[in-house]
Structure 1
């Protein structure tokens, strides 16, 4: 007990002392960034300086005499920067980089590779191993081309952490793999940077509480690094450690993905020690992903992340926590599971840190066997039942996964195997001659890849970056053969159809290229009976490709104002993006002066058709389901604004561009007008010509021609009122003060008469508190100045809270959800079911008949300070942000 008390006192003293510690950049003793094969120094896109590796011949063991300085034969627009990827040092024999380093520090070693032809050497001819002077094998028989093609990446970065070297010397050796034909080794960029002591303590072995794994003396490879609940953090924003942190969304398992919360830059993170502040940047700790506010829902699912890893290695999983809202023990406690084994029971962040705003991380080790079923690592959180906390919830701020070297000093794994479906689709579109050649190459790749059949070597976090954000573009490697790679399931092939030249050659490899004959067959020669819509781009048809796959086919109208640029933008944007709430592009056709886009078929059409376009015979949606569709669309837009390296602004948000699939999942569509947001921190907008749809157009954007993500927020506010009132954004047939939906809705909201103009079909279904929250959210979206509008993340949060208020009301009234129960005798409106057989609203976090409002009020009575937390203030007093 005395020892426990001393530890608690020491922790308290550390916290108090650390409260004044502000995050400051780490100053590494060694910081070397080599732009290999270059004759000149240069800056990358993040402003970091890379030195030409010819500046000091002592870095190369033979002064570079046995190597070739080469330039890439083509530039892939998915590259984050031309430096260091457009030049390479090519080795024909074993070659060594030698570095003198500080013996007291661990070091990051990052190897950058871009698969391309160099001085006429085909990318398939590079296969090599990388070792260090300490006897470590980092890569063995490694092919950049095979790896990036299998993982559909444009480039790859391998990040390793090397232990302290008492000799003060590190050598990195590149060795071409001996083959019957000539092979080469190469490197585009190399980083060697000192790192602070953030891996001193051993990790607890999951399943063996009395066993630990030494990290300080190990070499390890970074497999994943997530800013959980937040966006991409570039190396330049990482406190001097130059790490990249990525959005975790693509790796959250299941439909229940929790809710994200960000305390904002003004929140003060109090590091308990000087060393702790280097574990993760402030941006990681000011954001979280939690399960949501509904205890019943939370007790029936796990918040789970799943990641593909290599078998037969031990991994360290580092979880980062920072409590942003609560300030007393046992308000939120949860269990941590790794691979379905309990890593820690009853974890309580406040118990660990003693106060709000203090970050902490936990390390757990787990061994992954080399056998079926062990290809994926699972990390899961679940509310503690044993402690009966005040809130049944769990949170996480950051997640890292590191692979440790085995007993032989090896970190290498076999190259990943390309998708069999992808290979089949590609072969199916080739000529017999090309197919035979491709099969021979595939067989050769299999031989070279070794005999191990382990999991795909997903590599460092940059692999995550490219898989999620930067899809592999087309590469013309020879005069007759085109190798194509893109992140599209099932659909991925070439045809020999002649292009009409509207899109660049590199865009042609981003998704499937249909021949015009295929399109005509799919649409029965564009039969009017298959036409399902008409838009600014042209007519839209339903069709069938590959025998049984139903698709939507959009054919450009030659007289349309939306032409080649929109066609190219749509392909470029949608080929990069994959999200549950974004429509998926399958491919395109560009022959005979046609511009045709092929999408997944959305069974239930547009949102607008279910609101007031009764001519199509679409059923009217219940209020709950309208709200659920709004939440889904908000998730899609939130992903566009925060899920990629740069903001993507849709620029044409409206009810006809929100589609609904067969499971009633809302998906945002039509990216022909989309623009990438500002790429520099000192610029908040993009100056561009005004485009969009009148009635939804941001007035600030219209006046100043300065586009921001808040322009989408304004358009979405119009959508929200359109959903509520079931009338078009513009209706010239109405009295002058009612022509514009936005102006009329705001007028009614301010006069307190909005409830009188709600769609009569749903008026009696809406909970009063829900209507207040929903209307307030829409009103804030329509603020005249963009700076006064909420972010899409805040809009999403408020809509989810509105759904919780609706659930609470329905639970109290005991009425069936989605039905008119006012005794009018009108038929029940549609409450569609999702693929799980439950009401669609169940797919929204926090939808349950059990409310948290009373629990939250109890918090407020006990501690008024809780009202300062933005999220909880809304639960206590739903007044909006």
Structure 2
């Protein structure tokens, strides 16, 4: 409604308009009939207001006087207040945001309601009120044994989130009145050295919660604990605070869409990572089971994100949400699902879900879970975010990877429809994280006002600078990613022989890189034993280590080389994974380990190891012949001439049938001719003890360098000792020097007799 021109100056309008609004609201609602309250129904209190009122959305709020039968109040120092100005709050609903209860001393609301699990919602409109400046509103809120908020400042909270008001939602169990009614106490913070600090609240909701909605029913397994195989029982003694309630792929849903529990669902646009997604909606009817009927409104299940999987060549299809949470707490993560494609059959839309890079679902399948098409379902997970709760926030990551989407389909849809995250109380019954506190919060208001302009200017410059840096870094990363994709694009590899794995598959195959599955390590990084569920066989998974001097160049070299070469005596490349900083190569698993294991590693580890079998002379000869055939194929094949550059007994692997396989092509060189005189001028790379002296001195790499290194391997097979043995003294430390001396002095037979 447009106001008529006023004869009063604007500052008078700003001063008297809140009072006129307050008076009009009082007259309007006082004539309405009292709200009849059922103890098992929701109650919403318009704090600081005496009588019942109706909000813009049609919901009724009780006043502090008209609700005397169910609500009592204690706090002689408190008083009802209205905003000094409506400039900031004009777009907010007058109920409950145009009145508040404020005090510089403690005050308490007590609710005489039925027992059970309840939502507690506290509404705050942090503006300056008559007699109270918003910058000094630091206070603590407690209910029973639980600390809900500590040293909380609503103005700082909304300023950091870009909001006009804020609602803090909690869940807890309310016992019978005989065991003590529900009380909510507001206390000005005494940690701030100021007599001006005060507490306030605009509105309080107490809403009954259906049994088993978020709390574990007797006999249920509870929430799946991330990283473990057990469930977590969420019982009556656990209070929780809502961190996020997201409507995936759609706009915000106000509380009127959730008619029983008045939950608000916000959009997830600021939390989904990546710009290649777009929203999709459906008008299909949603069916609810007994467990999901109160899970979420139907509109939550009718929207999600979709992705163009052909947007970039080699781009991994995934949906990831980044959600900042307080350190030092456990979190209940509820994911809402619903399959709305009536053409989908079991096994066609499997997916993996990771929480903080730990696998929680490997082969998720809504059809296999038995819920059917159009049926709402949710799954609960519990994760611990370690750290000091007073050190601020960290990012909690929820990621979904479609496993086997139809290759003929251009777009891939997420099956996650909604995300809810609750913070669980600590053992000391504390739910309060660190408040976003400005420097010197006890400084005078005038001083802060004088500093505000300069601080904002500096902050603006910093933000602009950070944005520019982010743009530059983003462009650099995109350029690097594009370059990466070209190097390992399908045109450079044989996709029939080399599969690209998702990081979710690799994580599952290695049980999140369990140390118990580690089977070796080398210059590239650690090697794990894993199971390739796509083809149901055991594989070896080599992961680049953070401390490794190798990296992208070696990673790409090995994939390009092995993806085009196949020979009985070369290790077979199964596939690879490159996701962010992760560089992983997957090979066939070699059951009998390395040649070195059986020649001398068992001796160095203190005698006979049951897992390492000593080799007979015939077995040694067969292994050496097999390795020689593999090297000959590398040097003479029609596809590409390859100089291995790191031939050694540790890079000769043995399969189940003791067949030798040459492995590790990270530093190999690829040539275009078979002439042995051709050389590469290159930096010296390889392993001490196997390096060709001519290559080492001239930096001219030829196929003869591999032949020299293989000759050293033959001496290892003959002598059964490592090329460098630090237990020996003098030249005996080097196998090559020791062999040369034995030849020179005519002691070859003695050398073999002594060392075998």
Structure 1, residues 161-194: CA drift from partner, whole Å, max 9, x if none?
Answer: 1124243721111112225421211111111111
Matched, 1:279 2:295: yes
Aligned Cα root-mean-square deviation (Å): 3.8
Structure 1, residues 307-359: CA drift from partner, whole Å, max 9, x if none?
Answer: 11100000011100000114421111110111111111111112223421001
Higher strand share: 2
Distance 1:271 1:550 in 2: 46
Give the corresponding residue for 1:144: 154
Closer, same or farther: CA 121–96 of 1 in aligned 2, 3 Å: same
**SS at 2:270's partner residue?**
helix
The alignment's TM-score, normalised by the length of structure 2, stands at 0.50
The count of residues paired between Structure 1 and Structure 2 equals 418
Shift of 1:387: 12
Give the corresponding residue for 1:199: 214
Structure 1, residues 808-853: CA drift from partner, whole Å, max 9, x if none?
Answer: xxxxxxxxxxxxxxxxxxxxxxxxxxxx9xxxxxxxxxxxxxxxxx
Distance 2:373 2:408 in 1: 17
**SS at 1:409's partner residue?**
coil
**SS at 1:174's partner residue?**
strand
Matched, 1:493 2:457: yes
Shift of 1:243: 0.6
Question: Which of 186, 191, 205 is the matching residue for 2:200?
Answer: 186
Matched, 1:87 2:99: yes
**SS at 1:361's partner residue?**
strand
Asked whether the 8 Å contact 2:348–2:404 carries over to 1, the reply is: no
Shift of 1:299: 6.6
Closer, same or farther: CA 269–399 of 1 in aligned 2, 3 Å: same
Give the corresponding residue for 2:449: 481
Distance 1:377 1:482 in 2: 38
Q: Which one is further off, 247-256 or 164-173?
A: 164-173
Question: Which of 346, 368, 373 is the matching residue for 1:351?
Answer: 368
Question: Computing the radius of gyration over CA atoms, which structure comes out larger, 1 or 2?
Answer: 2
Distance 1:106 1:234 in 2: 22
Alignment of 1:14-413 (within 5 A): 29-57=40-68, 64-75=75-86, 76-77=88-89, 79-103=91-115, 105-133=116-144, 135-166=145-176, 167=179, 169-178=181-190, 179-182=192-195, 183-197=197-211, 198-201=213-216, 202-214=222-234, 217-256=237-276, 258-264=277-283, 267-273=284-290, 276-292=292-308, 294=310, 300-325=316-341, 326-370=343-387, 375-384=394-403, 394-413=414-433
The alignment's TM-score, normalised by the length of structure 1, stands at 0.43
Distance 2:455 2:448 in 1: 22
Shift of 1:260: 2.3
Alignment of 1:570-589 (within 5 A): none
**SS at 2:305's partner residue?**
strand
Shift of 1:146: 2.7
Q: Which one is further off, 59-68 or 114-123?
A: 59-68
Asked whether the 8 Å contact 2:78–2:103 carries over to 1, the reply is: yes
Shift of 1:242: 0.3
Closer, same or farther: CA 140–100 of 1 in aligned 2, 3 Å: same
Asked whether the 8 Å contact 1:352–1:360 carries over to 2, the reply is: no
Closer, same or farther: CA 290–174 of 1 in aligned 2, 3 Å: same
Structure 1, residues 646-697: CA drift from partner, whole Å, max 9, x if none?
Answer: xxxxxxxxxxxxxxxxxxxxxxxxxxxxxxxxxxxxxxxxxxxxxxxxxxxx
Distance 1:224 1:306 in 2: 11
Distance 1:209 1:303 in 2: 25
Give the corresponding residue for 1:705: none
Structure 1, residues 23-43: CA drift from partner, whole Å, max 9, x if none?
Answer: xxxx98231111111133222
Closer, same or farther: CA 219–126 of 1 in aligned 2, 3 Å: same
**SS at 2:375's partner residue?**
coil
Distance 1:278 1:339 in 2: 28
Closer, same or farther: CA 156–337 of 1 in aligned 2, 3 Å: same
Closer, same or farther: CA 119–374 of 1 in aligned 2, 3 Å: closer
Distance 2:130 2:208 in 1: 34
Alignment of 1:614-629 (within 5 A): none
**SS at 1:236's partner residue?**
helix
**SS at 2:457's partner residue?**
coil
Shift of 1:52: 1.6
**SS at 1:365's partner residue?**
strand
Asked whether the 8 Å contact 1:107–1:194 carries over to 2, the reply is: yes
Distance 1:77 1:67 in 2: 22
What runs of 5+ residues in structure 1 fail to find an aligned partner? Answer: 1-26, 419-441, 449-476, 495-510, 513-544, 552-579, 581-835, 837-881
**SS at 1:250's partner residue?**
coil
Q: Which one is further off, 214-223 or 360-369?
A: 214-223
Asked whether the 8 Å contact 1:261–1:289 carries over to 2, the reply is: yes
Question: Which of 438, 443, 462 is the matching residue for 2:440?
Answer: 443
Asked whether the 8 Å contact 1:330–1:348 carries over to 2, the reply is: yes
Asked whether the 8 Å contact 1:115–1:155 carries over to 2, the reply is: yes
Asked whether the 8 Å contact 2:46–2:203 carries over to 1, the reply is: yes
Distance 1:290 1:125 in 2: 46
Shift of 1:119: 1.5
Asked whether the 8 Å contact 1:60–1:95 carries over to 2, the reply is: no
Asked whether the 8 Å contact 1:213–1:365 carries over to 2, the reply is: no
Asked whether the 8 Å contact 2:348–2:405 carries over to 1, the reply is: no
Structure 1, residues 466-498: CA drift from partner, whole Å, max 9, x if none?
Answer: xxxxxxxxxxx879937979xxxx99439xxxx
Distance 2:91 2:382 in 1: 34
Shift of 1:79: 4.5
Distance 2:302 2:240 in 1: 27
